[in-house]
Structure 1
Amino acid sequence: MVVKSLERILYVEDEPDIRAVARLALEAVGGFDVCLCDSGKAALDAVQAFSPDLILLDVMMPGMDGPSTLSALRELPDVQETPVVFMTAKVQANEVARYRQQGAIDVIAKPFDPMTLSATVRDIWSKHHG
C-alpha cells in the first residue's frame, strides 16, 4: 500500500485571528498548502476544488457548526474518505469520544501552540496512515 503524503490542508475556522495564526503555523512552519475557510458553507464550496488530504474543522461556529459541516462534507463524493480533525477548546473525554463517533480521526485542543501545530497534525496523520 502506498502511503499518501500529507500536503494539502483545508482549515475551517470562523475566528480571523485564529485563522491567521494557523495559516502561519501550517504554511510557514509546516510547509503545507493550506486553504482557509471562515464557515462550514465556505468549506463545502471550496473542498472539492481544493481536494485536501486532511480537513481541520473548528467545532463551534455560527450557522453550521463543525459536526454539521462534517455531515455535509460526507455527502460529497470526493470527500467521503478525507480524514477530519476537530479543533476545539471542548476536550473532555466524553466530548472527544463524541467527536470520534461523528467521524473525526482525532481532536486538537485549542488554544493550540503555533510552533507545534504542524508536528501535531503530522503525528495524527502518521498514526492513521502509518
Structure 2
Amino acid sequence: MLSHHVLIVDDEANIREILQACLGDVAGWQVSAAASGPEGLTKAIAERPDAIVLDLMMPEMDGIAFLRRLRMHPETETIPVVILTAKTYLVELGQLDHLGVAGAIAKPFNPLELPTQIARALQWHAAIDA
C-alpha cells in the first residue's frame, strides 16, 4: 500500500487516537489530526493532505459546513474526503455527494479495515480525476 498523508478531523480525542494508530502505526501513513472544523481547515490548507477523514457531528463547525468551506479554497477543493459517521441513512449521504465525498465509513468501525477503506476511496477519487 502506498504511503499517504491523511488528516483526521474529529472532535472526539479517543476516535482521533484510534485513527492515528490504525493509519499511522498499522498502515505506515503520515497522519495529522485536528479537534475541530476550523482547526481542520487551517491544517488542510497548510498541509494539503492526500485525504481527509472527517466526522460529521462536531460542535462549532459540523462536517457539512467544513466540506463546503474546504471546497471553496483552491488549495483544498480536490482533496478526497472520507466521512466517518453514525448517520448512514441515504438522504444525508446523498446530500454529501455534491460536496465531493469519496466515501463513508459507518461508526462503529473496524479499525483494521480502515486503511483499506480509505485506500479504496483514494483510488476511486484518482480514477475520477484521470
| Alignment: residue pair count | 126
Does the Cα contact within 8 Å between 2:102 and 2:124 map onto a contact in 1?
no
Determine helix, strand or coil for the equivalent of 1:108: strand
Does the Cα contact within 8 Å between 1:59 and 1:87 map onto a contact in 2?
yes
Specify the alignment match of 1:71 in structure 2.
68
Unpaired runs of 5+ in structure 1?
none
- For 2:115, give the aligned amino acid: S
- For 2:67, give the aligned amino acid: L
Matched, 1:30 2:2: no
Say which is worse superposed, 19-28 or 96-105, in terms of deviation: 96-105
Matched, 1:18 2:23: no
Q: TM-score, normalised by structure 2?
A: 0.90
Specify the alignment match of 1:110 in structure 2.
107
Say which is worse superposed, 62-71 or 93-102, in terms of deviation: 93-102
Does the Cα contact within 8 Å between 1:48 and 1:78 map onto a contact in 2?
yes
For residue 6 of structure 1, report the CA deviation from its aligned partner: 5.7
The one of 44, 48, 51 equivalent to 1:47 is 44
Determine helix, strand or coil for the equivalent of 1:61: coil
Q: Deviations over 1:19-51 (max 9, x none)?
A: 000100110111111110000010111112211
For residue 101 of structure 1, report the CA deviation from its aligned partner: 2.9
RMSD: 1.4
- For 1:118, give the aligned amino acid: P
Unpaired runs of 5+ in structure 2?
none
Identity among equivalent positions (%) equals 36
Determine helix, strand or coil for the equivalent of 1:79: coil
Does the Cα contact within 8 Å between 1:12 and 1:38 map onto a contact in 2?
yes
Cα distance in 1 for residues equivalent to 2:20 and 2:28: 10
- Which runs of structure 1 show a deviation greater than 6 angstroms over 4 or more consecutive aligned residues? none
- For 1:24, give the aligned amino acid: A
Q: TM-score, normalised by structure 1?
A: 0.90
